Amino acid sequence: MYILTEEEENLCREIVDCAYKVHKQLGPGLLEKINEACFCYELSKKDIPHIRQKKLGIKYDGLLFDEGLQIDTLVADIIICEFKAVENINLIWQAQLISHLKLSGLHVGFIINFNVPIIKNGIRRYCHKGTKAQRLNDKSFNSIPDQGYIKIYEKA
């Protein structure tokens, strides 16, 4: 089981709050880049360090390749945020985020889809430890059962 650190949990709450603020002001239907820019502005207002369009190298067969990953936003060097503005989240994007977590050695990532009427339906949190990953829905969970597959949690 992976339990989020206090820092990760606090940042997750702030990330969700920033997404809510952006969606409340702008609503659905805008391009990813617009939502990303406004989301990062909200992080800046909270003095949360972040890097947009962060490139991370990957190690393969003992070599480091610079042309590895490109992350929409890396928050505080520990949380990956990927933004979408689509009708439905494609399973390949979930797999991509989990691969980013594995290859980067990070544990927490979000897919935030701003093209939804209610933003809580567009926020998906994923956690990774070792070779196992699960998805957590929004900020309500801080631990993950070690099941060995992607598990979708929904609020009751």
pLDDT in tens, the chain (156 residues): 578 999 999 999 999 999 999 999 999 999 999 999 999 999 999 999 999 999 888 878 888 887 778 999 999 999 999 999 999 888 999 999 999 998 888 999 999 999 999 999 999 999 987 543 443 333 333 333 332 323 333 333
User: What global pTM score does this model have?
Assistant: 0.80
Name which of 151, 81, 74, 79 is nearest 113 in CA terms.
81
Would you report the helix, strand and coil content of the chain in percent, each value rounded to 5? 35, 35, 35
* Partners of 134 in beta bridges: 127
Cα separation, 123 vs 110, in Å, equals: 7
